[in-house]
Structure 1
Amino acid sequence: MKLKRFLLRYYPPGIILEYEQGGLLKTKSIDLLDLRPETDTDLVVEEIARKEQLITSSKIDQVRKLVQRLQEKIGQKDEHHFYLFKVLRAHILPLTNVAFNKSGSSFITGSYDRTCKIWDTSSGEEMHTLEGHRNVVYAIAFNNPFGDKIITGSFDKTCKLWDVKEGKCYHTMRGHTAEIVCLNFNPASTLVATGSMDTTCKLWDVEKGVETVSLGGHTAEIISLSFSSSGSEIITGSFDHTVVLWDVRSGKRIQSLVGHKAEISSAQFNWDCSLIATGSMDKTCKLWDVGSGRCIGTLKGHEDEVLDVAFDYTGQMLLTASADGTARCYNAVTHNLVSKLEGHEGEISKITFNPQGTYVLTASADKTARLWDPETGNCKQVLEGHTDEIFSCAFNYEGNTIITGSKDNTCRIWR
């Protein structure tokens, strides 16, 4: 094995090693999820060198500088105030979803008008309209970090793979017998997973556009899915009140997470895939240990359905958003409540951290999106102007641009 170069990853903090083995270029990552500005740099470097054989004594200085750069980035105080940059009359019917590519240079919108559109973030110009679906385009995703492909899932029971540059369709994947409501690429961008009202999740080969495996066993529609960071596992959350952890290669069920008393709304891995968080219509969020499949915590307190859950990048903080109009921030390790986010006058359907973990963004039926301090629960800013409910919102990778998608047929860029 020969080390070729280091790459820095800011969110979550880590160092990527690019190395050659048997003539092939490979990568491995050193996660530094507990790194803080005040952490002893020398101790961190010693620990890395002890565990990682590719780090020889001649590379120690380089590693130290990388760790220091990460500490500087983590220590930066971000008091960014967002202003409205552009209003895009995006579609002739309401939007369903919005998503950024990795760099944030472009984003996509899906709509009831049966199209997906690609937009240039800096100019607000439409780059392509992806046409061909025969019903609502409900679920959309870039193949981040690459960003050269898009997958769209529709109520017409198909998903389509598109080329970002040309806007042309590579493949139409057929096989589901009901609407597709959730999808994503695996981290390597070799597979796409689709979840459907037909109770199955299907995995598709990106290169060939063919189904590789069908994950069956749920007894109601699959509403949420998420790949692990290695891509070797996937979770599916269903209206049958359960979440299932699957082995991607074999298609076999690894664990069933049983305990919720109503439909699942959202299921997410934390970064190192040691935990799964699940939100449910039973007004709770549960935390599960991935290794054993055991429920290790039930977070109660919401007075209505939990509609969305989200970890921060390090997997140490957890957010819940509810139909009761409030959101909560928890310590994912201790399960203690850190803060309550109160102020919305309608249900909160979407919640997310910025990449740095210093802001929380919520989208609500009250026509506003809000920015919050997760430590105190204070509302830092209200993003106003939409004339109907906002049900999708996203940060770019740097955390300095936001898009909001609304039922009012527009999306807004905030910078």
Structure 2
Amino acid sequence: MGCRPSKGSIGSQKSKGKQPHLLQEIKDHKGGINCMVLSDDGSLLVTGSDDKTARMFSTLSDPTECLGVLEGHTGYITCCAVREQFVLTGSSDSTVRKWFIATAECTAIYTGHNSRISRLLCAGQLIFSSSSDHTVRAWLFDLKEISDEQGEACIKIFEGHSKGTYPLLHIPMDENAGLDLGAGILVTGSADCTARTWSVDSGLCLKIFRGHTAPLNCLVYDDQKQLLYTAGGDGLIRSWNLMTGESMKTLSGHEGPIFCALIYKRMLFSGSSDKSARSWVLEFGECTRIYRGHRHTVSSIRHFDGMLYTGCGDAVARMFEAKSGTLKRSFKGHENAIVCVEVVPGKLFTGSYDGTLRVWTTAGVKDETVFGTDYADRDSKDDEIEEDSEEVQKAVKSLDPYLT
């Protein structure tokens, strides 16, 4: 089913006043937005919502247009992914659905989990799903030769965690790795405070990474050094030798749970409930920058073209110069916590619990630079929020998967 944005969903191309960088406010969803993902080429944006639907948007059109509504789940959407010509969605109804982008039709329903889906990951011809039921499952992406009703779509169940499983990471292996693991290594993080590596081929657990004292929210991998980085509720980032399971470094500095992390080149970026994002040098494990000015949890981060973008529980998205930590631009207008951000050339997309998808321009940032002006200090004064509303506090608390 296709859809076009209604007249009311298209914002002014040059908004004035409090939202000078806003291109569009899209109000198509009837509930809070929980997740958002871009296709590999950045041309398609998918959002998942409390309204039990996912929506597809063209990022290249001006204005941004809705290309289709994915309807069928009986619970709210928790996660989504894009692979080739298909969208995958996970839901609180315990199922994963596969949708054909061109028609917005559901082509497969993957059943087997008995609790809500946490994350989705596509690798090769497999789909991995984590769940609050403590397991991770591997499913065949292409179901042309089988019937899911016979239970053949699920080819592996990874069991061993004692609590809900959340972040997922797939590491392809080759001959140089010295291990014959077929389809590579799967890494899982859990509310049981551990991470585990698994052979995708055999389904066997290879290593258990113990040391955290709170549930894990993030997994990232340094492929140059073959180091796994884990982070979560204890505010620590730990590095591990992927093959031996040996604990290497502990990156400390955050004063609250860490909710998001990414690696770009030789830097690791993290966001926390301590109202900051940080950058770390992988080689030494040292914090080099603290991105300040947030008034609540940093729930989402993206690195793009030398800039670090953050989505925050204070309903504001921010753009920092990654190297210097200088705040370049604030994107204000949402009425509730921002939980996901995505970036394409010239545009920032923000999804919020207020149910809106907003599109902002990121053009002209270099022209705004004024020598001697500390944008971070200026923003912290201008953006002062006296007190977070109960709705914002409740929304940000729900970011923590093991608390809900």
**Structures share a fold, TM > 0.5?**
yes
SS in 1 for 2:160: coil
**Residue 269 of structure 1: how far off its partner (Å):** 1.9
1:260 corresponds to: 212
The CA distance in 2 between the partners of 1:290 and 1:373, in whole Å, is 32
Contact 1:369 1:404 in 2 (8 A): yes
2:268 corresponds to: 318
Paired residues in the alignment total 323
1:79 corresponds to: none
The CA distance in 2 between the partners of 1:311 and 1:236, in whole Å, is 18
Corresponding residue to 2:39 among 76, 101, 121 = 101
SS in 2 for 1:86: strand
Corresponding residue to 1:173 among 91, 110, 114 = 110
1:342 corresponds to: 292
1:205 corresponds to: 140
2:55 corresponds to: 117
**Structure 1 position 371 matched with structure 2 position 319:** yes
Alignment of 1:375-386 (within 5 A): 375-386=323-334
Alignment of 1:44-123 (within 5 A): 83-121=21-59, 122=61, 123=63
Q: Give the counterpart letter for 1:180 in structure 2.
A: I
Q: Give the counterpart letter for 2:272 in structure 1.
A: S
Gap regions ≥5 residues in structure 2: 1-19, 174-182, 362-404
The CA distance in 1 between the partners of 2:328 and 2:285, in whole Å, is 24
CA shift in 2, pair 1:272/1:133, >3 Å:
farther
The CA distance in 2 between the partners of 1:141 and 1:115, in whole Å, is 14
The CA distance in 2 between the partners of 1:276 and 1:353, in whole Å, is 20
**Structure 1 position 195 matched with structure 2 position 135:** no
1:130 corresponds to: 70
1:215 corresponds to: 158
Report the RMSD for the aligned CA atoms in angstroms: 1.6
Q: Deviations over 1:39-67 (max 9, x none)?
A: xxxxxxxxxxxxxxxxxxxxxxxxxxxxx
Q: Deviations over 1:77-117 (max 9, x none)?
A: xxxxx932221113001011111112222211100100011
The CA distance in 2 between the partners of 1:133 and 1:272, in whole Å, is 40
**Structure 1 position 292 matched with structure 2 position 244:** yes
Contact 1:151 1:184 in 2 (8 A): no
Q: Give the counterpart letter for 2:169 in structure 1.
A: S
The CA distance in 2 between the partners of 1:280 and 1:266, in whole Å, is 6
**Residue 382 of structure 1: how far off its partner (Å):** 0.9
230-239 vs 129-138, greater mean Cα deviation: 230-239
The CA distance in 2 between the partners of 1:120 and 1:258, in whole Å, is 42
Alignment of 1:139-154 (within 5 A): 139-143=79-83, 146=84, 148-154=85-91
**Structure 1 position 163 matched with structure 2 position 100:** yes
**Residue 272 of structure 1: how far off its partner (Å):** 4.6
Contact 1:348 1:362 in 2 (8 A): yes
Contact 1:229 1:272 in 2 (8 A): no
**Residue 414 of structure 1: how far off its partner (Å):** 2.4
SS in 1 for 2:167: strand
Q: Give the counterpart letter for 2:184 in structure 1.
A: S
Q: Deviations over 1:116-158 (max 9, x none)?
A: 1111222322111111100011110111xx3x11110000000
| Percent of paired sites with the same residue | 26
The CA distance in 2 between the partners of 1:229 and 1:375, in whole Å, is 30
**Residue 347 of structure 1: how far off its partner (Å):** 0.9
Corresponding residue to 1:409 among 346, 351, 355 = 355
Contact 1:277 1:309 in 2 (8 A): no
Contact 1:98 1:403 in 2 (8 A): no
**Residue 226 of structure 1: how far off its partner (Å):** 1.5
SS in 2 for 1:333: coil
The CA distance in 2 between the partners of 1:229 and 1:332, in whole Å, is 21
SS in 2 for 1:395: strand
The CA distance in 2 between the partners of 1:238 and 1:273, in whole Å, is 24
SS in 2 for 1:382: strand
Displaced runs of 4 or more, over 4 A: none
SS in 1 for 2:41: coil
345-354 vs 216-225, greater mean Cα deviation: 345-354
